[in-house]
Every structure is written in structure tokens, then in C-alpha cells.
Amino acid sequence: MLIKNKDSSFVPSSEITPKRVYVNRRTFLRNAGFAGAAAIGAGLLGRAAFPGEVRAGNPAAKIAGVQKSLLSTTGEKLNSLKDISSYNNYYEFSTDKYEPADLAKNFKTRPWTVTVDGLVKKPKTYDLDAILKMAAPEERVYRHRCVEGWSMVMPWIGFPISVLIQQADVLPKAKYVKFTTLLDEKQMPGTRRAVLDWPYTEGLRMDEAMHPLAIFTFGLYGEMLPNQNGAPLRITVPWKYGFKSGKAITKITFTDTQPSTAWNNAAPNEYGFYSNVNPQVNHPRWSQATERRLGEFLKRPTLMFNGYGDQVASLYNGMDLKKNF
């Protein structure tokens, strides 16, 4: 028997897609597609602000009694505080040079202690303020050459590392000094990923650390150092590539063997222990013969020992600097 449902072909009018809509189906899909693409595009355009739009941090406290040092570099145009404090290689905060200025703005630099240990008569933990009072603050204008091929000129404030070394009762067999940076995952978002071996470590040979040009730095442009530049205490070693000058130092260790250092661990063939600025020894991936001084269009030739050869070349007498790069 044939069962015939009379109404099988019946569709209520409410379910009929209006002609206007089904004719425009393609248009509708296309528009939906555009909306989606626009959303993706907006996401891709990403960067909320260009680097120049980033606000400078809080004004810092002035440092009293700063003496101008005779060891300052002369005849160079200083880079602006804004440039110096908005373009920072500070991987503990971010691998993007424009981000540390913002990410470090609430970084706690007090209370702060620095432990001096290793080959010393009596290991000791200093309060930061005790260290800052060890010597009169000096303004040191230095060239700063980054291993990436750019450079700046900055008016640092600090005092020679040798001052602390002399007070620390270092044992005669100490040959090297290792500087360790703070490791605090809460405050330093960059350290939550293993981009480098944290904490950041750097090192110098004793005679390098004792050299009058090698300084502890805690100020810039007459004021306390901005957090993104390594507050509250960093070192500055102007004849070496910038990464040798560790920031936010919490530990100083004297050793008789060459300490391991963060960048050397990361890529031993690219970043040697010495890492003296040397236009004749190229980075394996790029040339070190020239550099861009920030603020200039044309590149300048890079100077041996970053132009401090008269003062420091004798530290390396008889050494093959191509081997000991």
C-alpha cells in the first residue's frame, strides 16, 4: 500500500529563506570573510605603540656631589636620556629592546644587598647604600658599543670597581671576578623562559676589573640609574661589548678559574670570555668593522677596544685576540 503523505512537500513559509538573502549568500559569506580577515589583520598590526610613543619613567632622584672624571671620553656628542632609557638589551625583562623601559618601571631596587664571596678572607653581604658610599661618585662619559653593531655615548655615574676589590680582602690566588645579576621571576618576566642560563653572569680577569676605566655604575645624567639601565647597581666596562657589563648586580665572586658567563654559555663560538670591542674579529654572523652611532645616518668605523686602546691594550700584551675574542 502506498502511504501518501499529502503534506510531505509542505514547508511552512517561516522556514523559507527570503530570496533577498539566498541570492546574496555569496556576498554574505564574503562580508563575513572580510570581517574575519579584518580581525586577524588588526591582531597582526599588533604593536600598540611605536617605540617613540612610549612614555619616559618617573623622574629619578638627583645624585649629590658628582665630580667630573678626567677619565671621561671627550669630544663626543651625548645621546639623550630618552634614547638611553628606551632602547635596552635587558633580557631579564624582554628580548625586545623597547619593552624593558615599561616592564622595569616597578622594579624594586630597595632593599638591595650585594654578596661578596669566593676567594676573599671573609665573605660579606653589603647593603647597597654601604657600597654606594664606598667612594665619591664620578661622572664618566663613555662610549658604549653593543655587539649588535650600534653604539651610544652615555654620562654614567659611579666609581672604580677596584675600590670595592681593595676593601674586600681578596686572597692572592684570585684570578677572576664573576658578577651575578638578580634572578627574580616575579619581577623579571623574561627569566620565566630559558633564553639564557639564569641568573645572568658575567666575568672579568682581576687586572681588567682593577683597571681604572672599569666602574660600578648607579647613576646616569646626574640622577639615579633608570631601572631598565641596570639599577640599582651595574658594572660598565667601556672597552668591551655591552653585554659584558652586567646589570642589577647581587653577587660578586672571586675565583681562580675563568668563570662561565651567560652569553658564552649560550653561544661559545660567538661570544668569547674577553669580548673586547675589536673591528678585526667579526661576529660569526655579522661584521664588527663598523657601527651605527644612534642618532647618525652614516655608519662609523668601529675602533679597537672601542677607542680605549691607549689605556687598556697593555692588558692583552702577547695575547692572540683572534683566539681570545
Partner 1 sequence: MKIRWSKIIVFSVCLIPVARLGLAAYQGNLGPNPLEFITHATGDWTIRFLLITLAVTPLRQLLKQYWLIQFRRMLGLFAFFYGTLHLTTYLWFDKFFVWHDIWEDVAKRKFITVGFLAFVLMIPLAVTSTKGMIRRLGKRWTQLHRLIYVSAIAGVIHYVWLVKADLRLPLTYGAILAVLLAYRVMKWAAPKLAASPTTAAASKA
Of 41, 113, 171, 280, the one binding partner 1 (CB under 8 A) is 41
- Give yes or no for residue 28 binding partner 1 (CB under 8 A): no
d(CA 260, CA 245): 15
Strands 124-127, 176-181: pairing is unpaired
Of 196, 206, 209, 231, the one binding partner 1 (CB under 8 A) is 196
Of 69, 86, 227, 264, the one binding partner 1 (CB under 8 A) is 86
- Give yes or no for residue 45 binding partner 1 (CB under 8 A): yes
Q: For partner 1, which is the closer residue by CB, 166 or 287?
A: 287
Of 23, 29, 39, 136, the one binding partner 1 (CB under 8 A) is 29
d(CA 138, CA 69): 6
Of 11, 19, 50, 186, the one binding partner 1 (CB under 8 A) is 50
- Give yes or no for residue 148 binding partner 1 (CB under 8 A): yes
294 by Cβ neighbours in 10 Å (0-12 / 13-18 / 19+) ranks as middle
Q: How far is the CB of 282 from partner 1 (least distance, A)?
A: 9
* C-alpha cell at position 266: 649560550
Of 66, 71, 78, 150, the one binding partner 1 (CB under 8 A) is 150
Sign of the alpha-carbon torsion through 93, 97, 101, 102 = negative
Strands 201-205, 215-220: pairing is unpaired
Q: What DSSP assignment string belongs to 242-264?
A: GGGS-SSEEEEEEESSPPP-HHH
Q: For partner 1, which is the closer residue by CB, 146 or 252?
A: 146
Q: How far is the CB of 277 from partner 1 (least distance, A)?
A: 17
- Give yes or no for residue 48 binding partner 1 (CB under 8 A): no
Q: How many CB atoms lie within 10 A of CB 97?
A: 17
d(CA 129, CA 110): 9
Strands 138-145, 67-68: pairing is parallel
Q: For partner 1, which is the closer residue by CB, 32 or 319?
A: 32
- Give yes or no for residue 295 binding partner 1 (CB under 8 A): yes
Of 1, 2, 3, 44, the one binding partner 1 (CB under 8 A) is 44
- Give yes or no for residue 286 binding partner 1 (CB under 8 A): yes
Q: How far is the CB of 256 from partner 1 (least distance, A)?
A: 29
What residues contact residue 56 under an 8 Å CB cut-off, 6+ apart? 81, 82, 85, 86, 101
- Give yes or no for residue 268 binding partner 1 (CB under 8 A): no
Of 52, 75, 111, 172, the one binding partner 1 (CB under 8 A) is 52
Of 21, 23, 35, 38, the one binding partner 1 (CB under 8 A) is 38
Of 17, 257, 297, 323, the one binding partner 1 (CB under 8 A) is 297
Q: 2 by DSSP, 3-state: which?
A: coil
Candidates 285, 106, 240; CA nearest to 186 is: 106
- Give yes or no for residue 91 binding partner 1 (CB under 8 A): yes
- The position carrying cell 523559507 is 16
Q: 6 by DSSP, 3-state: which?
A: helix
- The position carrying cell 682581576 is 206
Report which DSSP code applies to 282: -
Binding site for partner 1 (CB under 8 A): 26, 29-30, 33-34, 37-38, 41, 44-45, 50-53, 79, 82-84, 86-87, 91, 95, 97-98, 148, 150, 152, 195-196, 266-267, 285-287, 292, 294-295, 297-299
